[in-house]
Amino acid sequence: MDEDLKKILEKTANTIRQLSMEAVQKANSGHPGLPMGCAELGAYLYGHVLRHNPKDPSWVNRDRVILSAGHGSMWLYSCLHLAGFDLSLEEIKRFRQLHSKTPGHPEYHETPGVEATTGPLGQGVGNAVGHALGLKILETKYNKADHAIIDAKVFCLAGDGCLMEGVSNEASSFAGHLCLDNLVIIHDDNKITLDGPLEQSSSEDVAERYRGYGFETYVMDGNNLESIDEVMTKIRENQTKPVFISCKTIIGKGSPHKAGSHKAHGSPLGVDEVKATKEALGLPAEEFYIPQQVKTFFENKLPKQKELQATWQKKFDDWAKLHPECAENFRECNSRKIPEDLELTLKKLNIPNPISGRVASQAVLEVLGDKLPFLYGGSADLSGSDCTMMKQFPLISPKNFQGRNIKYGIREFGMATIASGLFQTGMFIPYVGTFFTFSDYMRNAIRLACLSGYHVIYQLTHDSIFLGEDGPTHQPIEHLAALRAMPHLHVVRPADANEVKGAWLSMLYYNSPSVIVLSRQNLPTLVETAVPFKEGVGRGAYILKKEKSKPDFTLFATGSEVALAMDVAKSLEKQGKDVRVVSMPCFEIFEKQDAAYKESIVGGNLGKRISIEAGVSQGWFRYIGRDGIPICMESFGLSAPIGDLANEFGFTVDAILDRILTGK
C-alpha cells in the first residue's frame, strides 16, 4: 500500500473513532464499540475501494455497503459524512434525536447512502444477498461482449450476532448455492457480544461453516490497513465465489479501559473515558474534530468519483445505441411503471369458474410476467402449491441468472430478506410465496419492509382452516389480524377470481409491501364482484348486495367467506329480511378512502352487523360494533375434510342463521 495513502487512511480511521464515540456520548445512547473497532475498515472501504458517487447514491452500478450490524450505525454515518454524502456534521451531532438523519439504526430513505434498514440482526445479510442476486440478474440481462454495464460488488459488515441468527444462515446458504461472485461478507470478528465474551455462548468455526456453504474464505487483521488491502486486492482482482472474511478487530479500539470488552458494545464510553481515549489516540480535545487533511482527501476524491460515473454513463449510452431493445427493457425496469391498460388486460383474462384463489393468482401472474419485465417471483420450496411460478420463464440456477423464477428452498425468513434486497437495487418488484401460516417465519422481515417502504409482494396461500386435512399446524387462525396490525402493510384477501385481479392491481399500484391471502379450495366467481377496480377492490370494501330499503342485517366478509355471506343473505331474504352484504378485501385500503365513502359503506343504521371470516375476531369490532356478531375462529383448527370443518366450527348457512337470528 502506498505510504501516503496509508497515513491518510489511518487519520481517517481515528476521525471515525472520534466522531462515533462523541456522537454516542452526546446522545447518551448508542453503541461505540463496532465503529471504533471497524474504523480502519470504514476508512479503507470509503476512502479507497468503493466504486460509487456520493453525489448520486442511487447510481445503479455503484458498489454497495450494507451494515447488517445496524447497532453500529455511527460507523456508517461517520463514513458517509466524510465521504461526501448529503449527511452534515450537524446531523452527526443529532445522533438518535427526533427527526434526525442519524437514527439509532440505519433506515432506508432516511439517510443518503444507507442501502437497507438494519438493526434486527442478520437481516442485513439477507438484504446483501438480495442486492448481489439482483446485480447478477442485471449482469445477465444487460451485459454484452462489447459492453459490460453492470459489474458492482456488495460488501456486508456483519457481527457475531448477525451470524448467529438463523436468517443469515438461510441467506448465506442460498448465496453459496447460487455462487454469487459479487458478494463479500465481512465478519467483525471481535469475540464480544453485548452480554460478554463470545465464548460464553458460541464455540463454532464460523469460517468453516461458510466454506461449507460454498464461500471462499479469508482472514485479515481489521485494524491493520496493509492486511485489509492485501485481502481486498485479491478479491477485487479475482473473485469467483461469494467471499467470507474473518475480520479480526478489537471492539472499542483506542479506549484505554473498555477496548476488547463488552462494556464498549452497547453503552456510551462515559465523559472521562472519551477524554482518555482521545489522549491515548493523540486526538485533539475539540469535539467532532475533522482534520483538514481528511476533509481535503475526500473532497479531492469526489471529482474522480463523478468522473467514474460519467465514464460509465458514456459506456451505457453507447450500449443503448447498439442494443436499443435491451435499453428499453432497462428503462422499464428502472422506472417500474405500471402500464395504464393493465386493468383492461386483466379483465380480458378468462379464468375458469370455480377456481381456488391460488390458481387464479397464478393465471394473473403469468399475464403480469409478460407485461412487467421487472416482476420477479419465488417460493420457499412450494411453487407447485402456492402457485407462484410464472411458467413461461425459466428458473434462476447456480451461475445462471436468465430466469424470472427463484427457488429459495425452505428458507422463509431468508427469502423475505432477500426479496427486500432485490427491491433495494431499484430495478425489481419482487414477490415471494409460502403457506399463510408460515408468514410467522417471515414476520420480522415483513415488518422491516413496511418500515422502509419496500415494494415487495407476499403471496400467502392455504389461508384458513379450509385447507383441510393438514390440520391445525398448517391452518392460519390469528394471522390475518396479526398482519393487519402492521403499519403500512396492505393485506388483501380476495373473494374470487375477479377480486384476485383487483388485488394484484392494488398491490402493484401501492408502493409499499402488500400481502395477498389466497384459498387452497375452489371458490365460485361471483357476478357481483365483476366491477371496475376503482369501484371494488380499489376501495378496500364495497357493497356486493344492496338492501332494498333499510337493512335488518349487514354482513361483512372476506375471502372464501364472501360467497357464504351471499348464501346467508339469500336465506335471510326468504324469511323476509332486508340484507346488505359488504365484501372487505382490504381493511387498509378502505381506511384510506374519504369520509363520505366510508360512511356510505359502514355508517348509519345498518341493522344487526355480522362479520364472517375464518380467523380470529380482532379488528372486526370497529365495523360491526360492540353489539355485532363475529362469525370467527376462537380456537385452533382440526385435521379433517373441509365439509366436516365447516360444520364443526359453524361456517355453514344454517349455523350462521341460528347465531344471528337468536342473537348469540
Which residues does the annotation mark as catalytic? 412
358 assigned to a ligand binding site: yes
Residue 511, classified by CB atoms within 10 Å of its CB into exposed (0-12), middle (13-18) or buried (19+), is exposed
Please tell me whether 31 is known to bind a ligand.
yes
How far is residue 80's CA from residue 252's CA, in Å, rounded to a whole number?
Answer: 20
d(CA 381, CA 170): 13
438 carries a ligand binding annotation: yes
Q: Is 478 exposed, middle or buried (0-12, 13-18, 19+ CB in 10 A)?
A: middle
Helices (H), 119-270: 123-142, 160-164, 166-178, 206-213, 225-237
CA-based radius of gyration for the chain:
28
Angle of CA points 461, 462, 467, to nearest 5° = 165
Q: Is 17 annotated as a binding residue?
A: no
369 is in an annotated binding site: no
CA torsion, points 309, 310, 315, 316, in degrees to nearest 10? 70
Would you say 520 is a known binding-site residue? yes
Q: How deeply is 653 buried, as exposed, middle or buried, from its count of CB atoms within 10 A (0-12, 13-18, 19+)?
A: middle
Cα dihedral 276, 280, 281, 282 in deg (nearest 10): 90
What distances in angstroms separate CA 143 from CA 50, 140, 236, one per listed residue?
21, 6, 19
Whether the bond between 354 and the residue before it is cis, its omega within 30 degrees of 0, is: yes
Task: Say whether 647 counts as a known binding-site residue.
Answer: no
* Residue 121 annotated as part of some ligand binding site: yes
For residue 385, the tally of other CB atoms under 10 A from its CB is 15
- The phi, psi pair for 514, rounded to 5°, reads -140, 150
- Give the rounded distance of the alpha carbon of 322 from its chain centre: 35
* Cβ atoms within 10 Å of 485's Cβ, excluding its own: 11
Check whether 160 is labelled as a binding-site residue: yes
Q: Could you list the beta-strand ranges (E) of 444-546.
A: 457-461, 490-492, 514-517, 522-523, 542-545
Tell me: is residue 48 an annotated ligand-binding position.
no
**Largest CA-CA distance found in the chain, in angstroms, rounded:** 93
120 annotated ligand-binding residue = yes
474 known member of a binding site: yes
> Is residue 14 annotated as involved in ligand binding?
no
Q: Any known ligand binding at 462?
A: yes
Report the distance separating Cα 244 and Cα 8, nearest Å: 27
Query: Per the annotation, where are the binding residues for substrate?
Result: 31, 265, 358, 385, 462, 470, 474, 520
Query: Per the annotation, where are the binding residues for thiamine diphosphate?
Result: 71, 119-121, 161, 190, 265, 438
Query: Per the annotation, where are the binding residues?
Result: 31, 71, 119-121, 160-161, 190, 192, 265, 358, 385, 438, 462, 470, 474, 520
Query: Per the annotation, where are the binding residues for Mg(2+)?
Result: 160, 190, 192
